[in-house]
Structure 1
Amino acid sequence: MSRRRKALVLDFDGLVADTEVLWLAVLRRLYRTYFQELPYASVVESVGGTLHDFDPFTDLSARCGSVDASELEEQAECLFRAWMAYEAPLPGVRRLIAEAQLRAVPLAIASSSREASVVPYLDQFGLRDAFSVVVTADDVVRVKPAPDLYLLAARRLGTEPEHIVAFEDSGRGVRAAKAAGALCVAVPHVLTRSHDFDAADIRLDSLALCDLEDLLSHDPSEVRR
């Protein structure tokens, strides 16, 4: 008999909010402002990671030769914040949270982004109080694909990693969840469909297709769907 899952841990960027696609639009605007073309493949490959994977601001600064990377980053951040003011959670997010709360299943966020790039938007969406735990890049030495964020989230939730269901939109996020021992649901979006999701236990085209009751009793030995 399978063990019922005891908590849900969600990635934030690209899973709760459509920030990855929005950042792509911001970066395209920024690059074109300086008459440059954004290296799309590099951006897609780095989704779910950090500026250590691909830093568009250093790249653009090197191309221009006259604008500092920190100035470019500030320009992009300002535009991103302005555009995010019009955003809402992705389809399925509010229902998943509501169903988890009805079943008294704890919720957490595990994000490779900094806290300042996550918590203000949870507040904006009115979702901050739904998550008893929020762990970000500020809380660990290693971000995804290392398992540290998930291990810390499980510890703060008071459960074991194998008792959580992790929701991820990127290949490196899936690797992090599986390295921690969690059951992982992959929900790719337009920028990550080319990522390797073979390690995921379940793959959904949208979080709106999630059946929480099924997930909470899911047996990892079942054939992946």
Structure 2
Amino acid sequence: MAGKGEAVIFDMDGVIFDSETLVLNCWREVAECHGIRNIEIACHECLGTNSAVSKQIFLRHYGQDFPYDEYKAEMSEVFFGYASGGRLKKKPGVEKLLKYLKESGIKVALASSTREAVVKKELEEGGLLGYFDEIVCGDMVKRSKPEPDIFLEACRRLRSEPKKCYVIEDSYNGIRAAHAAGMHPIMVPDLMEPTEEMQGLAETILGSLYDVIGYLEPFYLDA
């Protein structure tokens, strides 16, 4: 294979689905009901992390007696009220990119901090499940992003070396994790604008998923 790539690993929330915006809006609804201040700050810090880490972030912001589990369940109920049944909006260009990778014979995996049951349900309802050779979720590894565990496990399952894998991420924690794993991080920003740190850790920062095909093509000419 030409170039340095043989596999592409996707994050899900904010990359495949426009779910992070919806989650934030659902948290805003819950916050308004319960008088929770500055919910956006906590939510932004949680981007890319699994449920256990997200809980600790909320407790750090609002105190150890903050009823996170109760409010998270309330937020999830609101979220699925909007998103279930295939109504979760896909990010522009995602189906074109996945189809290109599939037709090119490039290995594709998903590495999402979201729970496996939710990930597979959303992918199936969105008609995207069949594009992925492997799926690794937040409840399948011990350490959350920004640690590299979930990406390394995806590589192991794909039987690919990290240095030959591209990762498509939107969150700071995801880019940190991909970089720590020794992969090629591609940042496609969603809620958070790239910082100087991200410019240093990401191999490239692209405006949309449509731009990813053009970026990857030179590395997959013989795919």
TM over 0.5: yes
- Contact 1:28–1:38 (CA under 8 A) maintained in structure 2: no
Matched, 1:55 2:54: no
Aligned residue type for 2:188: V
- Can you list the C-alpha shifts for 1:148-176, whole angstroms capped at 9, x where unaligned? 11111011011111111100101111111
CA deviation digits over 1:79-128, x for unaligned, max 9? 11111132231111100000001101111001122112311100111111
Q: Distance in 2 between matches of 1:23 and 1:61?
A: 22
Which whole-Å CA distance do the structure 1 matches of 2:36 and 2:139 have between them? 32
- The reply to whether residue 200 of structure 1 matches residue 199 of structure 2 is no
Contact map agreement 2:4 2:163 (CA 8 A) in 1: no
Alignment length (residue pairs): 213
C-alpha distance in 2, partners of 1:116/1:23?
A: 17
Measured in 2, the distance between the counterparts of 1:116 and 1:32 equals: 29
C-alpha distance in structure 2 between counterparts of 1:164 and 1:81, whole Å: 32
Q: State the Cα distance separating 1:6 from its structure 2 match.
A: 0.7
Identity percentage over the alignment?
Answer: 30
Aligned residue in 2 for 1:71? 70
| 1:10–1:109 contact (8 Å) kept in structure 2 | yes
TM-score normalised according to structure 1 size: 0.85
Distance 1:160 1:121 in 2: 28
SS in 2 for 1:87: coil
Alpha-carbon RMSD: 2.5
What are the ranges of 5 or more consecutive residues in structure 2 without an aligned counterpart? none
Report how far residue 70 of structure 1 moved. 2.8
Residue in 2 that maps onto 1:223: none
Q: Which residue of 1 is the match for residue 133 of structure 2?
A: 132
1:111 aligns to 2:104 (yes or no): no
- Give the distance between the partners of 1:200 and 1:146, measured in 2 at CA: 15
Partner residue, 1:87 = 88
**Structure 1 residues not aligned, in runs of 5+:** 219-225
The structural deviation recorded for 1:61 is 9.3
C-alpha separation between the residues in 1 aligned to 2:38 and 2:188? Answer: 25
2:26 matched residue in structure 1: 26
Does the CA-based 8 Å contact 2:107-2:133 persist in structure 1?
Answer: yes
User: Runs of at least 4 residues of structure 1 off by over 6 A?
Assistant: none
* Residues 1:61 and 1:179: Cα distance change in structure 2 (over 3 Å): closer
What is aligned with 1:160?
Answer: 161
Q: Does the aligned pair in 1 maintain the 2:141–2:149 contact within 8 Å?
A: yes
Change (3 A) 1:216 1:179: farther
Q: Deviations over 1:121-146 (max 9, x none)?
A: 00111111110100011221112111
2-structure distance, mates of 1:181, 1:92: 26
Question: Partners in 2 of 1:150 and 1:61 — Cα distance?
Answer: 31
> Which of the two has greater helix per residue?
2
Q: Which amino acid aligns with 2:43?
A: V
Alignment-mate amino acid for residue 205 of structure 1: G
Question: Partner letter of residue 183 of structure 2?
Answer: A
Contact kept in structure 1, 2:92 and 2:208, CA below 8 Å: yes
Q: Verify the 8 A CA contact 1:92 1:210 in the aligned structure 2.
A: no
Alpha-carbon spacing, 1:194–1:178, altered in 2? closer, same or farther (3 Å) = closer
